[in-house]
């Protein structure tokens, strides 16, 4: 019997819970996709450190920048398309330029077929690569997620 690997999004949600136990400054901001990204596990364990912004990704990134300036470690979670396209200006001006400690996690990056055609975006990685200040883009081969730190 072969052991089945856990879905990457479940590992992400469980890892956030573990990190939250280790560091009370970690907060999670989500764009109404906590069931898909599995940040719902963090929300259940630490409801006072979980913020659901609905479909307001740009505002969510701005709030994360503000939280980072106050010493928190924000993890922003939504679909990759929305971080790179809807919140791109805020990522550039409010996170990358001042070099804030904000973690951006985008699920279903690239040509993921899980979420449907409207969430497909082949520009996720390219959107962040030309930034002057260091933004690290991590893409797992054959995965449906990326993390920008």
pTM across the whole model: 0.78
pLDDT of 18: 93
**Domain 8-148 adopts which CATH fold?**
Rossmann fold (3.40.50)
Given CA atoms 67, 68, 74, 78 in this order, what sign does their dihedral have?
positive
- Does 146 have pLDDT greater than 50? no
Q: What are the domain boundaries of the chain?
A: 8-148
More confident residue, 46 or 140: 46
pLDDT of 115: 53
More confident residue, 8 or 65: 65
110: closest CA among 121, 95, 98?
121
Per-residue pLDDT reduced to its tens digit, 5-39: 777 788 889 999 999 999 999 999 999 988 988 99
């Amino acid at each position: 019997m072969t052991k089945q690997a856990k879905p990457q999004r479940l590992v992400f949600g469980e890892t956030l819970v573990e990190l939250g136990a280790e560091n009370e400054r970690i907060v999670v901001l989500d764009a109404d996709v906590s069931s898909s990204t599995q940040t719902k596990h963090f929300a259940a364990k630490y409801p006072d450190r979980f913020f659901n912004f609905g479909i307001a990704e740009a505002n969510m990134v701005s709030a994360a920048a503000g939280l980072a300036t106050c010493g928190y470690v924000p993890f922003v979670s939504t679909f990759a398309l929305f971080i790179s396209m809807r919140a791109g200006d805020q990522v550039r001006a409010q996170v990358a330029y001042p070099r804030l400690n904000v973690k951006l996690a985008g699920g279903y990056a690239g040509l993921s077929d899980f979420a449907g055609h409207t969430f497909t975006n082949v520009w996720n990685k390219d959107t962040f690569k030309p930034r002057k200040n260091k933004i690290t883009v991590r893409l797992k081969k054959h995965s449906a997620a990326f993390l920008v730190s």
